[in-house]
Amino acid sequence: MIYRITNNTAPAVALDDIPVVSYAAFYDDLAARLRDERYHVAHYFALPDEAETHLRFFCLLLDDAAAEVLLTSFVMDYYAECPLPSLTALHPQLHPFEREIAERWGVRFEGMPWPKPLRFPCDRADRTSTIDNYPFYKMEGRALHEVNVGPIHAGIIEPGAFRFICNGENVLHLEIALGYQHRGTERLMTATDNRLQQVLLAESAAGDSSVAHATAFAEAVEKLTDGAAAAAALAPERAVAIELERMAMQIADTGALCMDTGYQLGQVACEALRTMTINTTQAWGGNRFGKGLIRPAGTDHPLTAEKAAMIRGNAAEIARRYAEVCHDLRTSPSLLARFEQCGIVPRTEMVRIGGVGQAARASGVARDIRTTHPWGLYAGQPGRETITEEEGDVMARLSVRCRETAQAAALIDRLLDGFAPAAPVRPDYDAPLRPASLAFGLVEGWRGETCHVAVTDSAGRIAAYRIKDPSLHNWMALALAVRGEGISDFPICNKSFNLSYCGHDL
């Protein structure tokens, strides 16, 4: 039994309308569907009932071919000793979800091939499980050695441990351990009824994706408050904000790749262009990273004709100059020698691990929420091209960045050509939420598929909130990318993904 949501803008679903099936039925149905590439899991989590006697598991499954979101659930005794058969054993894309459920609620998954902590949250079931006794994978051999990088890194990046097992310079295995900074973002979402505080938390889930996360929150809340009309009125502005964020970060990552290969001219050029992009966002809304632009059912920074002209002109100039950088990169033999055939993630592996976003598209997996599950302005663009590459290497991931930046600038140009501002729509922080309901926001941020899920109680309060940054899926892709590579190639492999520590360590 499945509840079908036929478009990404449908209103919230009453909890009583979401089917409750047996775990056996859930397991069989999900295992069968995930054999088909058209399906992948957007979110899968468990929540206790008010009496804390049972856990109800919710699964949001995306059908990319039919543009549907499939909802189902099952219930188990909170204190049940009987383990559940692991779906990860069949479909590795389930591993972060089953690990999170096991860590938070103590549920055991029989046959789980990687039963390891995911985040070390403060409310984890096993308090003896700490970052200090993380069970790193071991390989024995006289010729093998381990190299540990982190958790403290140079610069301002956040903590994460990278444990390499090498034979000489050749990487045999990389294990990535995160969870050094559990910030309690999801818990804080339910600790307040102040809608403004909640959106501030949402846009801080991952600082380089503020617009994407704030938009996902706004969409979820608007589905709970019948704010569809306001969302439709704001659709062009939200699309412009998301595409500006996409341009800024794709250009920044291009510069980071140049830096790690010693190509200083490309690095400096990209730094200048990224600055121009985020300064454009700041001139619009007062913050370089777009914080404050997206608010539920409204905005405090409506787009004026003057600002629209400024954004349009800047985006065109940035795209023109960035195209020159991309041309130089594509025609540099020394850079091509480093980027091509390095850090390959084959298409089959990307599908198996549930990869999303630009990383998946660089391996030929055409997953893009703007196309498969469009929302807002994207819903009115049939035939939109999803940019893919086939090689799955560092160069392919760079090529996707170059092409998506040009595509974003072209979309901004079309949206703002002859832009006529409508009457300002002010945010609504007080609209009552539908009680006992589930709503989600599903957005294609620059890094990929961003999913927020809000569940309300019988009084209409947010009782549970779950955030999924695309990095949750793609950290495993990075681990696969460096297998068989020289350890000195790790920096460019890492930069070619540029995943979020804080987006994982919620």
* 84-85/437-444 β-pairing: unpaired
Confidence at residue 233, expressed as pLDDT on a 0 to 100 scale: 77
Residues (pLDDT < 70) of the chain are 380-383
Using alpha carbons, select from 196, 163, 96, 72 the residue that is nearest to residue 467. Answer: 96
Q: 2 Cβ partners below 8 Å, 6+ apart? A: 19, 29, 70, 71, 72
The residue with tokens 């990929």 is 448
The residue with tokens 């979402």 is 189
CB 107 within 8 A of CB 55: yes
Confidence at residue 234, expressed as pLDDT on a 0 to 100 scale: 83
| CA–CA distances in Å: residue 496 to residues 294, 339, 356 | 28, 9, 14
CB 442 within 8 A of CB 42: yes
- At 72 the three-state DSSP class reads strand
The residue with tokens 């909640």 is 198
User: CA-based Rg of the chain, rounded to a whole angstrom?
Assistant: 22
Checking phi first, is residue 346 left (phi over 0); if not, alpha (psi -120 to 50) or beta?
A: beta
Phi, psi of 82 (to 5 degrees): -75, 125
| Cross-strand bridge partners of residue 174 | 164
Side chain identity at residue 238, one-letter code = R
Confidence at residue 53, expressed as pLDDT on a 0 to 100 scale: 85
State how far the Cα of 61 lies from the Cα of 497, in Å rounded to an integer.
Answer: 24
CB 107 within 8 A of CB 101: yes
Percentage, residues of the chain above pLDDT 90: 83
The two structure tokens encoding residue 143: 């010729």
Q: 67 Cβ partners below 8 Å, 6+ apart? A: 6, 7, 8, 372, 373, 374
| Cross-strand bridge partners of residue 486 | 170
| CA–CA distances in Å: residue 235 to residues 219, 228, 327, 461 | 11, 10, 33, 26
In angstroms, the first-to-last Cα distance of the chain is 32
Other C-beta atoms closer than 10 Å to the C-beta of 233 total 17
CB 117 within 8 A of CB 179: yes
Cα-based angle 403, 442, 293 (whole degrees, multiple of 5): 75
* 68-77/20-21 β-pairing: parallel
Q: 298 Cβ partners below 8 Å, 6+ apart? A: 230, 234, 424, 425, 426, 427, 428
Is the dihedral angle over the CA atoms 152, 213, 196, 187 positive or is it negative? negative
Per residue in 424-460, pLDDT (tens digit) is: 788 989 999 999 999 999 999 999 999 999 999 999 9
Confidence at residue 235, expressed as pLDDT on a 0 to 100 scale: 85
3-state helix, strand, coil in the chain (%, to 5): 45, 15, 40
State how far the Cα of 500 lies from the Cα of 434, in Å rounded to an integer.
Answer: 32
- Residue 23: half-sphere exposure toward Cβ, Cα within 13 Å: 14
